[in-house]
Structure 1
């Protein structure tokens, strides 16, 4: 599936989910290593202190919920869908995401290092100070998103695209990029890691915008030639 096909396939409404008719409401707390198959979490406020490491969500929907300081380390999300949900100060380290989508969600101060994201879509989301260090992102789409102070340090980005998104003060130090397509990004502003853009695809216009930072990273000095007088072309007699 191409990145374009993945964007077209993202359901934007709950009713568009292929398993929408099978969803059962879940109103109770989350449990450590709990199994949540075809459940619908709607309007839940899972405040700090909620611990559900190792929880497994299969064909589940999360709408208009608040995860604040929730411990979901090592959780698994397979064919899950989240909309209008806020993740603040959560721990998702080592979590695994497969065929999952976030629509209109907000992620702030989220620790998601050492995670694995495969065929995951973020649509109209805001990611602020999200730690994705050493995370593997394969065929991930950030569509019409704002990525501010996101840390991709030592992460691997394979087939990742950013159509209509703004990348602001992101960190890419020691990241590895393969088939990463930045051409759709509206802005590309890195706090570090310009040298790690090797393997990315960008436009000519983006190259011109990045040129000063790339030159600085490479230690290049860009200067106009010093003025010299015209040589004396007179013929000696």
Structure 2
């Protein structure tokens, strides 16, 4: 099932994400030394062109008011860590292990991620712009005010997730798993989706009339309706 539409036009009935983060607070940050990356606190500092095999954050660690430009990391582990009021741009990270992490007011731009493990995570005020993501595991995650813009996602797993005011603008998605999801004001009209798993989990989402027509056979099957011409 291919679901294609143009960029979403938000109707008055669907609330758009709300973002309060002002990136100008990062304009005069001191520059961190890439050689000591990870050994100093990640607080009010800017890093550029950091290349590392791993970036390990421990449970309870905080990255606050930071800017990362040109971040190349083989594996980024931040399970149970906190990331707030920060910008990540030009990152290339094949594996992210961020289960139960807390993200608030974070901008991610022009970046590539392979597997992105974020089950049981909390995301609030998060924007991914011009990013390429592989498998995004958001099972049982809490999402509030999240936007994917001009991005590509191979698979996004929202099994048992709770999402409110989430939008996908000009974004291509291979597979959405919505099984058991609880959605409120989730706007899919700007998404080009190849496949939906757990169609019943889309209750509370907004789709376009074109998407509805493409979903019609699957919806009929879900309702136990036989269509016979």
Q: TM-score range by the shorter chain?
A: 0.7 to 0.9
Listed as ranges, the matches of 1:26-175 within 5 Å are 26-27=33-34, 28-31=36-39, 35-48=41-54, 50-54=55-59, 55-175=61-181
State the alpha-carbon separation in 2 of the partners of residues 26 and 138 from structure 1.
34
User: CA RMSD for the aligned pairs?
Assistant: 2.1
Indicate conservation of the 8 Å contact 2:17/2:167, yes or no.
no
Indicate conservation of the 8 Å contact 2:110/2:130, yes or no.
yes
**1:135-181 Cα deviation digits (max 9, x unpaired):** 11101011111121121111111000011111211211111101111
TM-score by length of 2: 0.85
* Residue from 197, 200, 215 that aligns with 1:210: 215
Q: Which residue of 2 aligns with 1:199?
A: 204
Larger Rg: 1
State the alpha-carbon separation in 1 of the partners of residues 162 and 57 from structure 2.
27
Indicate conservation of the 8 Å contact 2:187/2:205, yes or no.
yes
Report the Cα offset of residue 105 of structure 1.
1.1
Report the Cα offset of residue 98 of structure 1.
0.7
* Residue from 180, 193, 200 that aligns with 1:188: 193
TM-score by length of 1: 0.82
Give the ranges of 4+ consecutive aligned residues of structure 1 lying more than 3 Å apart after TM superposition. Answer: 2-6
In structure 2, the CA distance between the partners of 1:169 and 1:205, relative to structure 1 (3 Å rule), is same
**1:69-110 Cα deviation digits (max 9, x unpaired):** 222111211111011102222211111111111011112112
Q: Which residue of 2 aligns with 1:234?
A: none
Indicate conservation of the 8 Å contact 1:106/1:127, yes or no.
yes
Look up the SS of the partner of 2:214 in the other structure: helix
Look up the SS of the partner of 2:137 in the other structure: coil
State the alpha-carbon separation in 1 of the partners of residues 161 and 33 from structure 2.
34
Deviates more, 1:39-48 or 1:17-26: 17-26
Q: Which runs of 5+ in 1 are unaligned?
A: 225-237
Match status 1:19 vs 2:65: no
Q: Which runs of 5+ in 2 are unaligned?
A: 1-14
Report the Cα offset of residue 191 of structure 1.
4.4
State the alpha-carbon separation in 1 of the partners of residues 89 and 21 from structure 2.
12
In structure 2, the CA distance between the partners of 1:4 and 1:180, relative to structure 1 (3 Å rule), is closer
Structure having greater relative contact order (Cα 8 Å, sep ≥ 6): 2
